[in-house]
């Protein structure tokens, strides 16, 4: 399951990602309808789902700040709203990388993508790992 941050509403990412991703794609607001969801509540909502990957462009509030868990993954894109349409391609290429190509490998990781530069840390290793994303 891919869960998109509400900031990404209107960017048509659910359709773009849904074209290549086999699982469910939804917005964080779908997990708790008719309510305001603060950033600090997002990890608790994710824990109620089966191995979700949360996608956000709110890097400032999630990278190196969010409580992480082995039961979900967070991908923070360092992109302005005007470049949100690039997320689908970048995410697809991330999911092709051997470290992230299956859901089980993504769980417990917080990932930051800035253009083709990828940084991440995990519940098992808080040291930041880095690599360059191969765009296909």
**How many angstroms separate the CA atoms of 94 and 111, rounded?**
10
| 101-128 tens-digit pLDDT | 999 999 999 999 998 899 999 998 899 9
| 3-62 tens-digit pLDDT | 999 999 988 999 999 999 999 999 999 999 888 898 889 999 999 999 999 999 988 888
**How many angstroms separate the CA atoms of 44 and 54, rounded?**
12
pTM over 0.85: yes
């Amino acid at each position: 399951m891919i869960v998109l941050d509400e900031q990404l509403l209107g960017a048509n990412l659910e359709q773009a990602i849904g074209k290549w991703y086999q699982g469910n794609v939804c917005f964080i607001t779908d997990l708790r309808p008719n309510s305001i969801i603060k950033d600090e509540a997002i990890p608790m909502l994710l824990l109620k789902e089966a191995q979700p990957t949360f996608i956000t462009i709110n890097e400032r509030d999630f990278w190196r700040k969010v409580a992480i868990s082995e039961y979900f993954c967070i991908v923070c894109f360092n992109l302005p709203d005007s470049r949100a349409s690039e997320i689908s391609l970048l995410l697809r290429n991330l999911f092709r990388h051997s470290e992230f190509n299956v859901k089980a490998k993504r769980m417990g990781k917080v990932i930051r993508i800035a253009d083709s530069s990828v940084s991440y840390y995990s519940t098992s290793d808080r040291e930041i790992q880095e690599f360059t994303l191969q765009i296909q």
